[in-house]
Amino acid sequence: MSSTLAKIAEIEAKMARTQKNKATAHHLGLFKARLAKLRQELITPKGGGAGGPGEGFDSPGLLPNAEGEEPAKEAESSGLRTR
């Protein structure tokens, strides 16, 4: 974490030394983006996060029913008529 704080201090010092004008606006914007990323890194913990069972993005509409039947198609279940 101290290395992150050091990086933040270094970028802030570079921003203070950089003259503000049209030619350096992009450069300063890149510094601001890096600062935002580093500050966000300080706020949110870096969880190694091995996702346990039950975590995922299985859509309930694509899973088979409890009786083992095939899931209904979206157009049929929503009442829309197709040609």
Both tokens assigned to 38: 């580093």
Number of domains in the chain: 1
- Residue 27 in any domain: the answer is yes
- Residue 83 in any domain: the answer is no
- Residue 39 in any domain: the answer is yes
Q: Has residue 18 got a pLDDT over 70?
A: yes
Q: Write out pLDDT tens, residues 43-64.
A: 987 766 555 555 556 555 555 5
- Residue 33 in any domain: the answer is yes
Residue 32 is part of which domain span?
A: 2-43
Please report which helix (H) or strand (E) contains residue 14, including its range.
Answer: helix 2-17
Across all residues in the chain, what is the average pLDDT? 77
- Residue 49 in any domain: the answer is no
Structure confidence at residue 2 (pLDDT): 74
CA distance 9 to 34: 12
- Residue 60 in any domain: the answer is no
- Residue 36 in any domain: the answer is yes
Q: What is the mean pLDDT of residues 9-26?
A: 95
Q: What is the mean pLDDT of residues 70-79?
A: 56
- Residue 37 in any domain: the answer is yes
